[in-house]
Amino acid sequence: MPMIRIVLALLSLTSSIAEAAASQAEASEESPAALEERLPFKTLLSRSVAYVKRPAVVEWRKKTLYLQLELGQAIEYNNFSNLGYGLSLRFPSGDLVWKTSFLQVKVGDTGASKQVAKTPFQQEGRPSRFEWQNGVEMPLIEGIGQQLFTWMPPAQFVLSGVVQLNTYIYQGLDGGPMDSVKRLVAAQLSTGETQQLAASAPAAMRIHRSLHSLSGGLQWDHYYATDLSWTARFLYERPAGGTAGGLGGWYSFSLGAGYGF
């Protein structure tokens, strides 16, 4: 019996050695593609998510301010064209960003509004003006990653909620400096001021009298290690003072490019 056990052990050992040799021979004959499949999981993972291998940690909250150029347009329930442009200052402060902007908004006729002007009808709108905007941005989602195109540098992305108060400043109205200051806190234009603005406004426009609006929406920011940034925001606005009139609410979309100091 001991002899039989020894023989069986030798046979088992010989079989294991033969299987190992066969496996080694098969591995040496495998194609490069098969060897690629045997790469460690960590290596395969790093190849599949290579777009996050160059993180751009941008300490944008530590900046004193971001100076930004802005270009935007309002989407109103009328046929007039409009385009706004100007400067904004953004001040990071902990988990919030405080913003103040000063924009010039140009409003003009379109082919459709000229056709309306040939009829007795009028559309409510806001003529050319300056806008002073003050608001706060609250980051909701933040991440780091590579851009869609590899030639673009990695960036830090921030999606924020925005609340903003807008004040309209119209030129060409009667009165001195004190009257201009009073209009900054007035709820709406007076009848006389509305008539003055109508003289230079598009012919089919019925002047919207509110001097303020409150807006809210979302903003998407890209921050780069070079201190450059760009912003896209989409807001919904409602008059904040006076009557809404026929204009009701409207949307606004703007793009901005800035630099952090």
- CA–CA gap between residue 185 and residue 179 (Å, rounded): 10
What local confidence, expressed as pLDDT, does residue 34 receive?
A: 56
What local confidence, expressed as pLDDT, does residue 135 receive?
A: 97
In contact, 76 and 249? CB cutoff 8 Å:
no
Two structure tokens written together for 178: 């004190």
Maximum distance among all alpha carbons in the chain? 122
The residues near 148 (Cβ < 8 Å, ≥ 6 apart) are none
Two structure tokens written together for 89: 């200052």
DSSP 204-218: TEEEP-B-EEEEEEE
- The predicted-structure confidence for 7-42, as pLDDT tens digits, reads as follows 445 445 444 444 544 455 454 555 565 555 666 766
- The predicted-structure confidence for 190-222, as pLDDT tens digits, reads as follows 999 999 999 999 999 999 999 999 999 999 999
In contact, 232 and 209? CB cutoff 8 Å:
no
What local confidence, expressed as pLDDT, does residue 58 receive?
A: 87
Q: Which residues of the chain have pLDDT under 50?
A: 7-8, 10-11, 13-18, 20-22, 25, 27, 49-55
Two structure tokens written together for 224: 């780069």
184, β-bridge pairs: none
What local confidence, expressed as pLDDT, does residue 66 receive?
A: 98
**Could you tell me where the beta strands, DSSP code E, fall in 13-128?**
66-75, 81-93, 96-108, 123-125
| Pairing relationship of beta strands 96-108 and 66-75 according to DSSP bridges | unpaired
| DSSP, res 79 | S
| Rounded alpha-carbon distances, angstroms, from residue 261 to 25, 60, 66, 71, 187 | 64, 10, 6, 21, 36
